[in-house]
Amino acid sequence: MKKLLLQLNKQLMVITAMVIVVVIGVAGTTAPPQNHLYKNLKILPQDISREAMHDIMEGQFADAMGIKCDYCHVKEPGADHPDFASDANPKKDIARAMMTMVLQLNKENFKVQKPLIGDSLMVVTCYTCHHGGTFPDTKSKIPVVHEFGPPPPPAPPKQ
Ligand code: HEC
Ligand code: HEC
């Protein structure tokens, strides 16, 4: 009787151990590998928080240029919100090129060690040039120095 009980106990332990292994295995494979909120970031950090994203998009981009979200994010007619992850609106890639330029300017021209869009240490921001508009005013007070005129007529063909 004692022997039988001991054997049952052993079997129970084996079964319990197997169940634990299976449970851990399932938990391991079903847990998402990362906990990222956003799907299509090429410049901003993958693990950016909702608050930081909001401050950059609304507080910096939209405000610096005097625009709404759907200036850069495609919005289907009748949809409540733009499709933020989509790259269908070409302005989004222009904005990415501007972000890259701003990061580079801060790093190479203003010696910001680790430039990050949205960081208060940034010297040059979207606002530096845009000042609330989509097309910065680059020409108003600059006197014209070079006036190249129309291109010369094409040379006559050689015989
Ligand atoms: C000047 C253009 C511009 C404006 C205006 C703009 N965004 Fe964006 N947004 C971008 C760019 C560029 C990215 C992608 C950044 C990257 O690739 O790292 C982005 C990414 C996002 C994402 C992440 C989507 C994903 O899953 O990858 C969200 C959310 C978002 N924007 C929300 C907003 C909201 C809300 C507004 C308005 C308050 C807004 N944006 C205004 C340019 C803009
Ligand atoms: C060094 C100056 C400068 C900075 C800094 C700058 N921009 Fe620009 N941006 C320009 C100029 C100039 C144009 C107009 C280009 C043209 O006329 O073709 C422009 C155009 C754009 C456009 C296209 C507008 C349109 O309707 O076609 C977007 C979008 C944009 N900028 C986003 C940004 C964002 C976002 C930032 C910050 C990450 C930024 N820019 C920072 C100078 C700048």
Nearest atom in ligand 1 to 40's CA:
27
Instruction: Read off the DSSP letter of residue 144.
Output: P
For atom 28 of ligand 1, the residue with the nearest CA is 84
| Cβ atoms 140, 133 nearer than 8 A | no
Nearest bound ligand to the CA of residue 100: 2
Q: For residue 137, what pLDDT band results from cuts at 50, 70 and 90?
A: confident
| Cβ atoms 92, 72 nearer than 8 A | yes
What residues contact 7, with CB distance under 8 A and at least 6 apart?
none
Nearest atom in ligand 1 to 71's CA:
5
Could you please report the per-residue DSSP string of 4-57?
HHHHHHHHHHHHHHHHHHHHHHHHHHHS-S---S-S--SSS-TT--HHHHHIII
Confidence at residue 139, expressed as pLDDT on a 0 to 100 scale: 78
Which ranges in 31-89 belong to alpha helices (H)?
50-54, 63-65
* Model confidence pLDDT, tens digit, residues 50-95: 999 999 999 999 999 999 999 999 999 999 999 999 999 999 999 9
Q: Read off the pTM.
A: 0.81
